[in-house]
Amino acid sequence: MTREHHWRTAPRGSILPAMRTQEQSTHRQRPDTIHVGHTPGGLVTYCVNVPPEALPTVLRRDLERAWYAARDAALAERQGAVRGFRFTRPDGSHTDLALADRDARCWVGAVDNTVGIGNANGLSLCLRLLALIDLLARAPWARSLLHLARDGAEFHPALLKAAASQPLTKEARFDETGFRMRLSRFVGGFQLEAPAEDGLAAPRP
Protein backbone atom coordinates (compact mmCIF):
# COMPACT_ATOMS: atom_id res chain seq x y z
CA MET A 1 0.00 0.00 0.00
CA THR A 2 1.32 3.40 -0.94
CA ARG A 3 0.63 6.48 1.12
CA GLU A 4 0.59 10.11 0.13
CA HIS A 5 0.66 12.66 2.90
CA HIS A 6 -0.30 16.26 2.45
CA TRP A 7 -0.39 18.51 5.50
CA ARG A 8 -1.65 22.06 5.03
CA THR A 9 -0.01 22.95 8.32
CA ALA A 10 2.38 21.06 10.54
CA PRO A 11 0.23 19.07 13.00
CA ARG A 12 1.19 18.48 16.61
CA GLY A 13 0.85 14.75 16.11
CA SER A 14 -0.16 12.28 13.44
CA ILE A 15 -3.88 11.81 12.92
CA LEU A 16 -3.37 8.32 11.51
CA PRO A 17 -3.63 6.29 14.76
CA ALA A 18 -6.90 8.00 15.59
CA MET A 19 -8.33 7.20 12.16
CA ARG A 20 -7.46 3.52 11.84
CA THR A 21 -10.64 2.28 13.50
CA GLN A 22 -12.87 4.42 11.33
CA GLU A 23 -11.01 3.35 8.20
CA GLN A 24 -11.69 -0.30 8.97
CA SER A 25 -15.37 0.36 9.64
CA THR A 26 -15.86 2.04 6.25
CA HIS A 27 -14.10 -0.65 4.21
CA ARG A 28 -17.29 -2.42 3.11
CA GLN A 29 -19.53 0.58 2.78
CA ARG A 30 -20.59 2.09 -0.53
CA PRO A 31 -17.91 3.95 -2.55
CA ASP A 32 -19.08 7.47 -1.72
CA THR A 33 -19.40 6.90 2.01
CA ILE A 34 -17.90 9.45 4.39
CA HIS A 35 -17.51 8.26 7.96
CA VAL A 36 -17.23 11.07 10.50
CA GLY A 37 -15.64 10.41 13.87
CA HIS A 38 -14.27 12.26 16.90
CA THR A 39 -11.23 11.70 19.05
CA PRO A 40 -11.00 12.39 22.80
CA GLY A 41 -8.71 15.31 22.00
CA GLY A 42 -11.39 17.06 19.94
CA LEU A 43 -10.14 16.15 16.45
CA VAL A 44 -12.92 15.55 13.92
CA THR A 45 -11.96 12.79 11.49
CA TYR A 46 -13.33 11.98 8.05
CA CYS A 47 -12.68 8.66 6.34
CA VAL A 48 -13.67 9.15 2.72
CA ASN A 49 -13.92 6.27 0.25
CA VAL A 50 -13.42 8.65 -2.68
CA PRO A 51 -10.12 10.39 -3.51
CA PRO A 52 -10.09 14.20 -3.84
CA GLU A 53 -9.69 14.02 -7.63
CA ALA A 54 -12.91 12.00 -7.90
CA LEU A 55 -15.12 14.34 -5.87
CA PRO A 56 -18.01 15.83 -7.88
CA THR A 57 -18.22 19.25 -9.43
CA VAL A 58 -20.47 21.79 -7.70
CA LEU A 59 -22.65 24.71 -8.70
CA ARG A 60 -21.05 28.14 -8.92
CA ARG A 61 -23.78 29.72 -6.82
CA ASP A 62 -23.26 27.11 -4.08
CA LEU A 63 -19.54 27.84 -4.01
CA GLU A 64 -20.31 31.55 -3.77
CA ARG A 65 -22.67 30.95 -0.85
CA ALA A 66 -20.04 28.83 0.86
CA TRP A 67 -17.55 31.68 0.52
CA TYR A 68 -19.97 34.21 2.01
CA ALA A 69 -20.61 31.85 4.93
CA ALA A 70 -16.86 31.44 5.45
CA ARG A 71 -16.26 35.18 5.16
CA ASP A 72 -18.98 35.98 7.69
CA ALA A 73 -17.55 33.42 10.11
CA ALA A 74 -14.08 34.95 9.75
CA LEU A 75 -15.41 38.46 10.38
CA ALA A 76 -17.17 37.14 13.49
CA GLU A 77 -13.88 35.48 14.56
CA ARG A 78 -15.54 32.10 15.02
CA GLN A 79 -13.44 29.12 15.97
CA GLY A 80 -13.48 25.79 14.18
CA ALA A 81 -12.40 22.28 15.07
CA VAL A 82 -9.18 20.69 13.88
CA ARG A 83 -10.14 18.20 11.18
CA GLY A 84 -8.32 15.26 9.64
CA PHE A 85 -9.26 13.58 6.36
CA ARG A 86 -8.25 10.26 4.85
CA PHE A 87 -9.15 9.74 1.19
CA THR A 88 -8.92 6.10 0.13
CA ARG A 89 -8.55 4.94 -3.47
CA PRO A 90 -9.71 1.63 -4.97
CA ASP A 91 -6.09 0.43 -5.20
CA GLY A 92 -5.68 0.82 -1.43
CA SER A 93 -3.52 3.96 -1.53
CA HIS A 94 -4.71 7.02 0.31
CA THR A 95 -4.12 10.72 0.81
CA ASP A 96 -4.22 12.29 4.27
CA LEU A 97 -5.11 15.92 4.83
CA ALA A 98 -5.02 17.74 8.16
CA LEU A 99 -6.56 21.18 8.62
CA ALA A 100 -5.19 22.80 11.76
CA ASP A 101 -4.69 26.35 10.51
CA ARG A 102 -6.95 28.78 12.39
CA ASP A 103 -8.39 30.40 9.26
CA ALA A 104 -8.99 27.08 7.52
CA ARG A 105 -10.69 25.74 10.66
CA CYS A 106 -12.99 28.75 10.71
CA TRP A 107 -13.88 28.48 7.02
CA VAL A 108 -14.47 24.74 7.09
CA GLY A 109 -16.61 25.06 10.20
CA ALA A 110 -18.75 27.66 8.46
CA VAL A 111 -19.29 25.47 5.42
CA ASP A 112 -20.05 22.47 7.62
CA ASN A 113 -22.62 24.46 9.57
CA THR A 114 -24.18 25.76 6.34
CA VAL A 115 -24.36 22.75 4.00
CA GLY A 116 -22.59 19.95 5.88
CA ILE A 117 -19.38 18.26 4.74
CA GLY A 118 -20.37 14.73 5.69
CA ASN A 119 -21.42 14.04 2.10
CA ALA A 120 -19.53 14.08 -1.20
CA ASN A 121 -21.10 17.27 -2.53
CA GLY A 122 -20.60 19.26 0.67
CA LEU A 123 -17.03 18.03 1.07
CA SER A 124 -16.26 18.88 -2.54
CA LEU A 125 -17.66 22.36 -2.00
CA CYS A 126 -15.50 22.83 1.07
CA LEU A 127 -12.27 21.55 -0.50
CA ARG A 128 -12.81 23.60 -3.65
CA LEU A 129 -13.14 26.74 -1.57
CA LEU A 130 -9.91 25.95 0.27
CA ALA A 131 -8.19 25.07 -3.01
CA LEU A 132 -9.27 28.39 -4.53
CA ILE A 133 -7.89 30.36 -1.58
CA ASP A 134 -4.69 28.31 -1.81
CA LEU A 135 -4.43 29.06 -5.54
CA LEU A 136 -4.84 32.79 -4.99
CA ALA A 137 -2.01 32.69 -2.44
CA ARG A 138 0.45 31.09 -4.87
CA ALA A 139 -0.70 32.42 -8.27
CA PRO A 140 -0.34 36.23 -8.53
CA TRP A 141 -2.00 36.26 -11.98
CA ALA A 142 -5.31 35.13 -10.42
CA ARG A 143 -5.48 38.04 -7.99
CA SER A 144 -6.71 40.36 -10.74
CA LEU A 145 -10.03 38.50 -10.35
CA LEU A 146 -10.24 39.29 -6.66
CA HIS A 147 -11.57 42.50 -5.14
CA LEU A 148 -10.62 43.24 -1.55
CA ALA A 149 -12.98 45.34 0.54
CA ARG A 150 -13.40 46.13 4.23
CA ASP A 151 -16.04 43.44 4.63
CA GLY A 152 -13.97 40.79 2.84
CA ALA A 153 -13.05 39.65 -0.64
CA GLU A 154 -15.29 39.35 -3.68
CA PHE A 155 -14.54 36.80 -6.40
CA HIS A 156 -15.05 37.37 -10.11
CA PRO A 157 -17.89 35.06 -11.31
CA ALA A 158 -15.56 33.37 -13.82
CA LEU A 159 -13.14 32.51 -11.02
CA LEU A 160 -15.92 30.83 -9.06
CA LYS A 161 -17.19 29.01 -12.15
CA ALA A 162 -13.73 27.61 -12.84
CA ALA A 163 -13.28 26.56 -9.21
CA ALA A 164 -16.68 24.85 -9.22
CA SER A 165 -15.86 22.69 -12.25
CA GLN A 166 -12.07 22.17 -12.33
CA PRO A 167 -11.07 18.75 -10.93
CA LEU A 168 -9.07 18.75 -7.73
CA THR A 169 -5.64 17.17 -7.67
CA LYS A 170 -4.88 14.13 -5.53
CA GLU A 171 -3.57 16.57 -2.89
CA ALA A 172 -6.96 18.40 -2.87
CA ARG A 173 -5.53 21.44 -4.64
CA PHE A 174 -6.02 23.02 -8.06
CA ASP A 175 -3.40 22.49 -10.73
CA GLU A 176 -2.43 26.04 -11.70
CA THR A 177 -2.02 25.36 -15.43
CA GLY A 178 -5.24 23.40 -15.71
CA PHE A 179 -7.16 25.99 -13.73
CA ARG A 180 -5.88 28.80 -15.93
CA MET A 181 -6.92 26.91 -19.07
CA ARG A 182 -10.41 26.30 -17.70
CA LEU A 183 -10.72 29.93 -16.68
CA SER A 184 -10.03 31.00 -20.28
CA ARG A 185 -13.13 29.03 -21.39
CA PHE A 186 -15.41 31.21 -19.30
CA VAL A 187 -13.98 34.62 -20.12
CA GLY A 188 -13.50 35.15 -23.84
CA GLY A 189 -10.44 37.21 -24.75
CA PHE A 190 -9.42 37.51 -21.13
CA GLN A 191 -5.95 38.88 -20.47
CA LEU A 192 -4.51 38.53 -17.03
CA GLU A 193 -3.09 41.69 -15.57
CA ALA A 194 -1.90 43.14 -12.30
CA PRO A 195 -4.60 43.45 -9.60
CA ALA A 196 -6.70 46.58 -9.97
CA GLU A 197 -6.86 48.97 -7.05
CA ASP A 198 -10.62 49.29 -7.28
CA GLY A 199 -13.16 46.72 -8.38
CA LEU A 200 -12.70 43.55 -10.37
CA ALA A 201 -10.55 43.24 -13.43
CA ALA A 202 -12.71 43.05 -16.53
CA PRO A 203 -12.15 40.98 -19.68
CA ARG A 204 -10.51 42.84 -22.51
CA PRO A 205 -12.01 42.60 -25.98
pLDDT tens, 48-57?
999 999 999 9
151: confidence class by pLDDT, cuts 50, 70, 90: low
- Say how many domains are in the chain: 1
- Average pLDDT, integer, range 114-142: 93
Please report whether residue 114 resides in a domain. yes
Please report whether residue 85 resides in a domain. yes
Domain holding 145, by residue range, is 3-186
pLDDT digits (tens, 9 = 90+) for 173-187: 999 999 999 998 887
Q: Is the pLDDT of residue 34 over 80?
A: yes
pLDDT at residue number 48: 96
Please report whether residue 8 resides in a domain. yes
Residues 6+ apart with CB under 8 A from 164: 57, 58, 59, 60, 62, 63, 128
Phi/psi at 140 (5° precision):
-55, -30
Three-class secondary structure of residue 3 per DSSP? strand
Please report whether residue 37 resides in a domain. yes
Please report whether residue 195 resides in a domain. no
CA atoms of 32 and 48, how far apart (whole Å): 7
Please report whether residue 10 resides in a domain. yes
Q: Is the pLDDT of residue 145 over 90?
A: no
User: pTM for this one?
Assistant: 0.77
First to last CA, the chain: 51
User: Which region among 5-19, 88-102, 103-117 has the lowest average model confidence (pLDDT)?
Assistant: 5-19
CA contacts within 13 A on the Cβ side of 27:
9
Q: For residue 148, list its beta bridge partners.
A: 153
18: confidence class by pLDDT, cuts 50, 70, 90: very low
- Average pLDDT, integer, range 60-72: 94
pLDDT at residue number 190: 52
Please report whether residue 177 resides in a domain. yes
Q: For residue 44, list its beta bridge partners.
A: 38, 83
Please report whether residue 43 resides in a domain. yes
